[in-house]
Structure 1
Amino acid sequence: MTDYVGLTWDHPRGRNALAAAAGDLGDGDTLRWEVQSLEGFESAPIDELARRYDLLVLDHPHLGDALATDSIRPLDDLFDARQIDEWADAAVGPSIASYTLDGRLWALPLDAATQVSVRRRELVADVPDTWDDALELAERGLVATSLAGPHAFLSLCSIAVSLGDDPGRGAVLFDRAVALRALDLLTRFSTNAPAGTDSLNPIGLLDRMRDRGDIGYIPLVYGYVNYASPVVVFDRVPAANGRIGSTIGGTGIAVTRRSEPSPALLAHLRHLLGDQAQRGFIPAHDGQPGLRTAWTDAAVDAAAHGFYSRTLSTIEASWVRPRLAGYIPFQSAASALVRDAVAGRRTADDVLDEIGERFAALTATCLQEENA
């Protein structure tokens, strides 16, 4: 008999379904979930958490540190190849690919999310198709941008992807000309934003859009199905020459090295990733499923006011961040630098120089450790 403990993030989307499904797993095993803030989820040291919990809900950029510290178990040691292949085929967008590294799967894509756009229907009737369309709204003071925490850097990356870049896939993080254009767009979007929105995380921005109604449109923000309504409408992001740019997020469940998962616990995890739970139990308990069958289910979509059908093309085209040891603190530092540029405290070239130098140092360190 084992009492397992998991850690998830403190929002209805992150906790309600997991808590409702937990409890007695059978064979005398139990599972309970504790929570941490969104900021903790985005930045807490993974090795420290892995020493305290059996299951961790994490984002794919944590994998670099998790593998470097040998904190989590490869799931192909726990589930057979046929099961993993089924999940890979069923997952929406690159959600399962984002948790696959060195040819092995390290987390189960319970929840799928990416940056999408959102608007208040009475203020912005039609979704902007291009960045130029979105800029027209910004000039009218209707646009807020997601800049708090890591999100300034992630928004910059998403715009750069739409402009044709593939950040971090080589020794150089950005194509400089593309990054300058992307940073200029992000700055222009932020110039006339409603006061105080620059300090809000995605949950705070969506709360404000829903409750105060002074934000008409956010071009890039992580989608939360819980906020979808006839008034608050999630949709695709603006494109450049037809190309969509969005940085995938979502969450996966990892099994830590401290855990000795029983057949009952593994059966519970299979249930959470099963088609029935993903199309029924998870949405009914405020969750955001990770399987394409749920995203394309007409009843699930109707209950979510079109959230899934309107954002499916964006998540299918989304970009996967680098998964390097040390990436999480790099991302935090890079985001602070982007905020400096957006606020006019530093020049765009200076900021991009420093971000590029930090990324080059990060990749060099990882290469040295691999060769050691």
Structure 2
Amino acid sequence: MTDYVGLTWDHPRGRHALEAAAARVGAGDTLRWEVQPLEGFESAPIDELAARYDLLVLDHPHLGDALATESLTPIDELFDSALVAAWSTAAVGPSLASYRMAGRLWALPLDAATQVCARVPALVPDAPRTWDEVRALAAEGLVALSLAGPHAFLSLCSLAVALGDDPGRGADLFDRETATEALSLLAALSATAPAGTSGLNPIGLLDRMRDRGDIGCVPLVYGYVTYSSPRVAFSDAPHAGGRIGSTIGGTGIAVSRRRTPSPEVLEHLAWLLDPRTQTAFIPAHDGQPSAAAAWDDEGVDAAASGFYSSTRATIDQSWVRPRFAGYIPFQSAASAVVRDALASGRLSAALDDLQSLYSSARSSSPGVFA
């Protein structure tokens, strides 16, 4: 008998389904899940975690560090190629593709999420479809931005994507003209946001929308199906005349090099990705599935107050972040620069600082750059 330990994040969406399913591991093996707060999930060093845990729930930007430190076992070394191919075609949007790097698959997408628009229908009856419509709502004091932690930078990236850019795919972080327009719009929106919202993470924003009703709309916030209700509605993120701009998040289950998983544990992981599990078990335990079969299921969608059908186009078009070693601290530093720019109005200087941070992080990154 072997005791396996996994690490996930401390939220019903991150833990309930995994904890409920752990009892299914057979043949005498046990699987126990420990949790860390959302902020730790976003920033903890992957090599330290991989030395302590057998299974890790992580986000795709950690892959650069994971490859540089050789912390993970490739998924395609553990599972049959036909099964991996089936998972690839079954996943919604780039939720599985975001875990591919250097020709290998490094995690299984248990959970799919991206930035979408959240609103209180009592205050904002119709979802804003464009950024011009968001600007009009902001003039009424109804719009808040997701700026805490890494989210200020991710909001800037998503807006740049909506304006036609593809950040971080070369030596320049942004197209300067596009980034100037995007940052200027964020500054205008933040100037009219309800007091006290700039320091709230996505969960805090959604809690306040549900409980206080003084935020009418957050145009870019990571979708949490557990909040979807008649009081808080989700819809596709706004566009600027072209592609919807949104940065994919979600989580995948990775296998550390700490221990080779037993056939029973591998069977358990495959069961978690099975379309039937994704459509029934995962939603029933507060999870947010990654399988398109679940997103397209009318019963699953109805139980979630239309969350999946209302945001499907956004996740299908969502942007995948760079995944080089050192990206996570770069993202944190870049987000602080964006927040300072929104508070001070130093937009041009902030774009210079962002480029400097990016160039430094890129030049010092070992291994694969993606």
Q: Residues 286-325 of structure 1: matches in 2 within 5 Å? A: 286-325=286-325
TM-fit CA distance, 1:24: 5.3
Write out per-residue CA displacement over residues 238-261 of structure 1, whole angstroms, 9 at most, x where no aligned residue: 111132100000000000000210
Per the alignment, residue 235 of structure 1 pairs with 235
Write out per-residue CA displacement over residues 335-357 of structure 1, whole angstroms, 9 at most, x where no aligned residue: 0000001111x511111111111
Identity, % of aligned positions: 67
Per the alignment, residue 148 of structure 2 pairs with 148
Q: Give the match's secondary structure for 1:35.
A: strand
Structure 2: distance between partners of 1:279 and 1:20: 15
Q: Give the match's secondary structure for 1:25.
A: coil
Would the alpha carbon gap of residues 41 and 177 (structure 1) be closer, same or farther in structure 2, given more than 3 Å must change?
Answer: same
Structure 1: distance between partners of 2:2 and 2:190: 51
Native 8 Å contact 1:24 1:31 kept in 2 = no
Q: Residues 71-82 of structure 1: matches in 2 within 5 Å? A: 71-82=71-82
TM-fit CA distance, 1:223: 0.1
Native 8 Å contact 2:225 2:288 kept in 1 = yes
In the superposition, the TM-score normalised over structure 2's length comes to 0.98
Per the alignment, residue 161 of structure 2 pairs with 161
Structure 1: distance between partners of 2:281 and 2:27: 23
Native 8 Å contact 2:164 2:242 kept in 1 = no
TM-fit CA distance, 1:361: 1.5
TM-fit CA distance, 1:187: 1.1
> Does residue 362 of structure 1 match 2:349?
no
Structure 2: distance between partners of 1:370 and 1:247: 21
Per the alignment, residue 225 of structure 1 pairs with 225
Per the alignment, residue 349 of structure 2 pairs with 350
Structure 2: tracts of 5 or more residues without a match: none
Per the alignment, residue 278 of structure 1 pairs with 278
Native 8 Å contact 1:114 1:315 kept in 2 = yes
**CA-atom RMSD in angstroms:** 1.1
Q: Give the match's secondary structure for 1:324.
A: coil
Structure 1: distance between partners of 2:85 and 2:187: 42
Q: Give the match's secondary structure for 2:70.
A: coil
TM-fit CA distance, 1:129: 1.3
Per the alignment, residue 131 of structure 1 pairs with 131
Write out per-residue CA displacement over residues 32-90 of structure 1, whole angstroms, 9 at most, x where no aligned residue: 10000000000011111111000000000000001101111101110011010000000
Q: Residues 198-213 of structure 1: matches in 2 within 5 Å? A: 198-213=198-213
Structure 2: distance between partners of 1:193 and 1:117: 15
Task: Kindly report structure 1 stretches of 4+ aligned residues shifted beyond 2 Å.
Answer: none
Q: Give the match's secondary structure for 2:365.
A: helix
TM-fit CA distance, 1:362: 1.6
TM-fit CA distance, 1:370: 6.1
Q: Which amino acid aligns with 2:350?
A: V
Structure 1: distance between partners of 2:170 and 2:111: 29
Per the alignment, residue 35 of structure 1 pairs with 35
Structure 1: tracts of 5 or more residues without a match: none
Q: Which amino acid aligns with 2:150?
A: P
Write out per-residue CA displacement over residues 289-336 of structure 1, whole angstroms, 9 at most, x where no aligned residue: 000010000000000000000000000000000000000000000000
TM-fit CA distance, 1:134: 0.5
Structure 1: distance between partners of 2:251 and 2:10: 13
> Does residue 2 of structure 1 match 2:2?
yes
Q: Which amino acid aligns with 1:355?
A: L
Aligned length: 369
Q: Give the match's secondary structure for 1:87.
A: helix
Structure 1: distance between partners of 2:171 and 2:9: 33
Native 8 Å contact 2:64 2:368 kept in 1 = no
Per the alignment, residue 115 of structure 2 pairs with 115
Q: Which amino acid aligns with 2:263?
A: P
**Which range moves more in the overlay, 4-13 or 236-245?**
236-245
